[in-house]
């Protein structure tokens, strides 16, 4: 495969879609050898078919705010690849949402979902709606208007959306209520539902917990553990919360969290109260992390800065894409950081990843280390089909097994001659082979 030629053609077809092109480039570089060794992929034009979504649905969302003014947003659902199961992936509500961001997320989701070992294809959706400062009733009206357009395109066996940035339990509730009213059936069409109406225990915690379980597996390859390690986490949303909770529980000391306004450094580390307070901060819809330092005066707020300037053993970027660049990576390496596990999707730039790998850090890409969220969504779908509910312990045990299996798959496909595990190659190849073989089995469609 000529990666540059494919990239040139995609750039010409999709100019300016930089996040999408970045995600595709990383995967193509990783799978090049496997692709060339297996001419059946080229014969069936697997790459050309894989890099374009099956379909992109866009729609207008009109709704009325609390002042009685009409608001208009854009809505999207990208059904990227359905080779191994129904399209599956979150909805993102954030003003930065555009086609490039949703295509990158949908593309990543194909491989992530394949890694989970569960039967789920890849998809993503969302809106440029900004939840910041919105009241609960505004969120409800927006979510209802969004679902009015989306409902006929999704279903428990076709496409199963869930949460992502700006979409948590509250939003899933409003979305589900409208779906149920329109479809006139109570079904497992969304995941992340409340656990007394079809949701899975542990789904809120799953992404962050899974990320920490994956870090644990990585450390174990060096005979090491989380105990006593210092951790820098970015973000203060759902994933950051889960990661802080589990890392703390396992004996690590979480020194930072962050928001778009800057980061918090807490020299004492987070504890149960502080982790609970993260939920309050997030629910306030104000987009600022600074109030943490007023609530807990031992902490310091660094305005406009990123947590990667702190000396830590482990880094877990859990906010958003491309939030950790080359300079940040150098700083982490210079300060002796030994492991980076991505809770967010594509938070590290390609240059940052190169620095981690050249310095032989343990580095896990999100499609492996944050797969616990969608894996638990898959378990929610299984429970919905069974009309049964597993206990938190049962779900947690399954989640740990899945994270460990993903680690094994990464090591199988990503271990280099000197023993270094290139988790990027491992995750991309393991995910690709599964999806590509399914595409071959199903013919040219």
List residues near ligand NDP by CB under 6 A: 94, 96, 163-166, 168, 207, 235-239, 259-260, 287, 318-320, 343-345, 370, 373
CA separation for the pair 97, 79 (Å, rounded): 16
Give the residue with the Cβ less far from ligand 2IT, 204 or 332: 204
Q: Which does 259 bind (CB under 5 to 8 A by kind): ligand 2IT, ligand NDP, none?
A: ligand NDP
Q: Which does 106 bind (CB under 5 to 8 A by kind): ligand NDP, ligand 2IT, none?
A: none
Q: Which does 318 bind (CB under 5 to 8 A by kind): ligand NDP, ligand 2IT, none?
A: ligand NDP
User: In angstroms, what is the minimal distance from the CB of 357 to ligand 2IT?
Assistant: 23
Tell me how many degrees the CA angle 422-424-429 measures, rounded to the nearest 5.
Answer: 100
Give the residue with the Cβ less far from ligand NDP, 198 or 235: 235
User: In angstroms, what is the minimal distance from the CB of 422 to ligand NDP?
Assistant: 21
Q: Which does 173 bind (CB under 5 to 8 A by kind): ligand NDP, ligand 2IT, none?
A: none
Among residues 124, 246, 274, 398, the one annotated as catalytic is 124
* Strand order across the beta sheet in which 339-341 lies: 300-303, 262-265, 253-259, 230-233, 314-316, 339-341, 362-364
Give the residue with the Cβ less far from ligand NDP, 11 or 350: 350
Collapse the DSSP code of 377 into the 3-class scheme (helix H, G, I; strand E, B; otherwise coil) and give the result: helix
User: In angstroms, what is the minimal distance from the CB of 206 to ligand 2IT?
Assistant: 8
Give the residue with the Cβ less far from ligand 2IT, 65 or 405: 405
**89 with 125: CB under 8 angstroms?**
yes
- List, in sequence order, the alpha helices (H) in 159-225: 169-183, 203-220
Q: Which does 116 bind (CB under 5 to 8 A by kind): ligand NDP, ligand 2IT, none?
A: none
User: In angstroms, what is the minimal distance from the CB of 418 to ligand NDP?
Assistant: 31
Burial group, residue 234, by CB count within 10 angstroms (0-12, 13-18, 19+): buried
Give the residue with the Cβ less far from ligand NDP, 95 or 251: 95
User: In angstroms, what is the minimal distance from the CB of 233 to ligand NDP?
Assistant: 10
Give the residue with the Cβ less far from ligand NDP, 47 or 347: 347
Q: Which does 381 bind (CB under 5 to 8 A by kind): ligand NDP, ligand 2IT, none?
A: none
Taking the CA of residue 11 as centre, how many other CA atoms within 13 Å lie in the half-sphere pointing to its CB?
A: 9
**90 with 82: CB under 8 angstroms?**
no
User: In angstroms, what is the minimal distance from the CB of 355 to ligand NDP?
Assistant: 21
Residue 80: φ, ψ to 5°: -85, -55
Position closest to ligand NDP via CB: 237
To the query of whether residue 229 is one of the catalytic residues in this protein, the response is: no
DSSP state letters, 280-293: HHHHTT----THHH
Who contacts 53 (Cβ-Cβ below 8 Å, separation ≥6)? 78, 79, 80, 81, 103, 106
User: In angstroms, what is the minimal distance from the CB of 14 to ligand 2IT?
Assistant: 21
Q: Which does 435 bind (CB under 5 to 8 A by kind): ligand NDP, ligand 2IT, none?
A: none
CA distances from 421 to 371, 406, 411 (A): 18, 13, 6
Give the residue with the Cβ less far from ligand NDP, 430 or 436: 430
CA separation for the pair 196, 266 (Å, rounded): 36
Position closest to ligand 2IT via CB: 90
Chain residues binding ligand 2IT by CB under 6 A are 88-90, 109, 112, 162, 164, 191, 345, 373-374, 377
CA separation for the pair 107, 78 (Å, rounded): 9
3-class secondary structure per residue, 75-118 = EEEEEEECCCCCEEEEEEECCCCCHHHHHHHHHHHHHHHHHCCC
Residues marked as catalytic: 124
């Amino acid at each position: 495969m000529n990666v540059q030629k494919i990239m040139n053609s995609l750039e010409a077809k999709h100019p300016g879609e930089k996040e999408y092109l970045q995600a595709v480039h990383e995967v193509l570089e990783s799978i090049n050898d496997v692709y060339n060794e297996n001419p059946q992929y080229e014969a069936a034009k697997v790459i050309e078919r894989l890099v374009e979504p099956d379909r992109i649905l866009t729609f207008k969302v009109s709704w009325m705010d609390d002042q009685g003014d009409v608001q208009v947003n854009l809505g999207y659902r990208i059904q990227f690849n359905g080779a191994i199961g129904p399209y599956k992936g979150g909805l993102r509500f954030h003003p930065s949402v555009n086609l490039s961001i949703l295509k990158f997320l949908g593309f990543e989701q194909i491989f992530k979902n394949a890694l989970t070992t569960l039967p789920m294809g890849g998809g993503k959706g969302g809106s440029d709606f900004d939840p910041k400062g919105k009241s609960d009733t505004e969120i409800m009206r927006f979510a209802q208007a969004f679902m009015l357009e989306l409902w006929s395109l999704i279903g428990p066996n076709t496409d199963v959306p869930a949460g992502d940035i700006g979409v948590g339990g509250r939003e899933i509730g409003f979305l589900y209520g409208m779906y149920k009213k329109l479809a006139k059936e109570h079904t497992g069409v969304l995941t992340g539902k409340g656990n007394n109406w079809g949701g899975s225990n542990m789904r809120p915690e799953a992404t962050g917990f899974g990320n920490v379980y994956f870090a644990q597996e990585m450390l174990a390859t060096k005979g090491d553990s989380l105990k006593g390690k210092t951790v820098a986490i970015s973000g203060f949303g759902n994933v950051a919360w889960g990661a802080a909770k589990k890392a703390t529980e396992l004996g690590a000391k979480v020194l930072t969290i962050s928001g778009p306004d800057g980061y918090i450094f807490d020299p004492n580390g987070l504890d149960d109260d502080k982790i609970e307070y993260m939920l309050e901060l997030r629910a306030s819809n104000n987009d600022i992390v600074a109030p943490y330092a007023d609530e807990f005066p031992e902490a310091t707020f660094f305005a406009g800065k990123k947590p990667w300037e702190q000396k830590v053993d482990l880094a877990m970027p859990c906010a958003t894409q491309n939030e950790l660049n080359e300079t940040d990576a150098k700083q982490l390496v210079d300060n002796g950081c030994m492991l980076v596990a991505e809770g967010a999707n594509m938070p590290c730039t390609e240059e940052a990843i190169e620095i981690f790998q050249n310095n032989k850090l343990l580095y896990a890409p999100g499609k492996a280390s944050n797969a616990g969220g969608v894996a638990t969504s898959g378990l929610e779908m299984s429970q919905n089909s069974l009309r049964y509910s597993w206990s938190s312990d049962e779900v947690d045990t399954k989640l740990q097994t899945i994270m460990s299996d993903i680690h094994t798959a990464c090591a199988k496909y990503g271990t280099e001659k000197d023993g270094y595990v290139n988790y990027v190659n491992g995750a991309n190849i393991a995910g690709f082979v599964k999806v590509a073989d399914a595409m071959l089995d199903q013919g040219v469609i």
